[in-house]
Chain A
Amino acid sequence: AQSVSQHNHHVILSEAASLELGCNYSYGGTVNLFWYVQYPGQHLQLLLKYFSGDPLVKGIKGFEAEFIKSKFSFNLRKPSVQWSDTAEYFCAVNGENTGFQKLVFGTGTRLLVSP
């Protein structure tokens, strides 16, 4: 079965610090990769997604993620975080083994950015 690992459960950063959140998935076949974010009191929303092509994907609010197939990784980065980035971040994947429909999520990373 497909699984997604997010190794950092809680991250605390100061404003302007750089961010990298790890995400590894288990399935070796063709996959689509996603990062979702949930701001306090808000719905889960899509930050960025990778289907094919350039492995460096840019999303909203200055976030980017790099797909490294050989490492089964899709880490999320932002060069300079803001207080408003405080949220919970979820990595998700779907793949050909699940018909590309259902998303498999990681357990999430809570990011706290101190002003």
Chain B
Amino acid sequence: GAGVSQSPSNKVTEKGKDVELRCDPISGHTALYWYRQSLGQGLEFLIYFQGNSAPDKSGLPSDRFSAERTGGSVSTLTIQRTQQEDSAVYLCASSLASSGRFTDTQYFGPGTRLTVL
């Protein structure tokens, strides 16, 4: 079946504008994660959704960042009033389930490269 898909693949925006990044997880995967990769840094966790539970937002860097997951499937990451330091590759991942220690493999999408001018 299809893997995790993300859109757009590239996004260039001006400082101060809002952007929305979309993630379509693998069908049937109940867990969904957002990470970002800034230049020269590893992947940084942003937010995690598991089924109908409240999301773990502990990695969001500021209140300009938010995410939602509609119908337990598609997720949108929104960045308001973008800043140049928001420039990064935003990666989405999904897994079959996630509870307890033995978490399922996270499958990653191709990412969205965000450039804030």
Contacts and interface: CB of A to CB of B under 8 A. Distances in A.
A6 to B, nearest CB: 8
A100 B101 CA distance: 5
Contact of B109 (A43, A90, A94, A96): A43
Interface in A65-103: 90, 92, 94, 96, 99-103
Contact of B43 (A43, A90, A99): A90
A103 B101 contact: no
A4 B102 CA distance: 20
B105 interface: yes
Contacts of A90: 42-43
A65 to B, nearest CB: 15
B interface bracket (residues with beta carbon within 8 Å of A): 20 to 34
Which of A32, A94, A105 is most buried by chain B, counting CB atoms within 10 A of its CB?
A105
Interface of A: 4, 6, 30, 32, 36, 43-46, 49, 51, 90, 92, 94, 96, 99-108
Interface of B: 3-4, 31, 33, 35, 40-45, 48, 50, 56, 58-59, 91, 98, 100-103, 105-111
B50 A101 contact: yes
8 contacts: A30-B101, A32-B103, A44-B108, A45-B107, A100-B101, A101-B56, A102-B48, A104-B45
A102 B3 contact: no
B108 A103 contact: no
B101 A51 contact: yes
Q: Which are the 8 A-B pairs with shortest beta-carbon distances? A: A105-B42, A44-B108, A105-B43, A102-B45, A107-B42, A100-B101, A43-B108, A106-B42
A101 to B, nearest CB: 5
B33 A43 contact: no
A88 to B, nearest CB: 10
Contact of A49 (B41, B105, B107, B108): B105
A103 B100 contact: no
